[in-house]
Amino acid sequence: TSSESKLSTNTDSENQRSFTRKNYVRIEKLSPGETISLNSTDTTEWKKIPGIGSSYSSRIVKYRALLGGFNSKVQLLEVYGINSEMYSRISQYITEDTNFTKIKINELEFKDLLRHPYLNYGQVQTIINLRDKKGNITSINELSMLDEFTKDDISRLQPYLDF
């Protein structure tokens, strides 16, 4: 019949598609006793920790940049997706260092202060208003007397503030 002759059967070679093979570099994981530095390690080095892949390493490095560096490795618990179970598995591979940037509270503009994860809009507004009224803020005690700052806020901020 004429309709049967118009049908064509695809051969295997017609159905094959060309795929480009990506070459992935396998990253060797750290052995127990080996460590990386909390604040000077890039995403590639973070991936050497068992349980840390591309997503976690990227989140850690981005959050570290927002903070200006980690004051303590416990702050890794603030990174999205890292819970206490994961933290207890990875903390043995991390050494702390004090290489972090302090917030120049009397010099930075509103938008720059607001970038820090430990400061919210109301707190930054209060800091700016206080500076405008009194001049330079001289100590953490001045902030601790303000309603906008809880004891937890003060303890988290203290290592980062430069007066």
Q: Which long-range contacts (CB under 8 A, 24 or more apart) does 87-95 make?
A: 89/50, 89/51, 90/49, 90/50, 90/51, 90/52, 92/32, 92/35, 93/30, 93/34, 93/35, 93/36, 93/48, 93/49, 93/50, 94/35, 94/36, 94/37, 94/38, 94/49, 95/35, 95/36, 95/37, 95/38
Residues 42, 86, single domain; the answer is yes
Domain extent for 81: 36-95
Within-domain flag for 111: yes
Tens of pLDDT along 117-161?
Answer: 999 999 999 999 999 999 999 999 999 999 999 999 999 999 999
Tens of pLDDT along 101-129?
Answer: 999 999 999 999 999 999 999 999 999 99
8 pLDDT exceeds 60?
Answer: no
Within-domain flag for 123: yes
Number of domains, the chain:
2
Residues 120, 78, single domain; the answer is no
Residues 137, 158, single domain; the answer is yes
Which of 95, 119, 136 finishes a domain? 95
26 pLDDT band, cuts 50/70/90, is confident
Strand partners, 36: 94
Residues 86, 111, single domain; the answer is no
CATH of the domain at 75: 1.10.150.320
Residues 91, 108, single domain; the answer is no
Which of 46, 71, 95 finishes a domain? 95
Within-domain flag for 53: yes
Q: For residues 5 and 11, what is the distance between their CA atoms, to the nearest angstrom?
A: 16
CATH of the domain at 143: 1.10.150.310
Which of 48, 68, 95 finishes a domain? 95
pLDDT of residue 11: 53
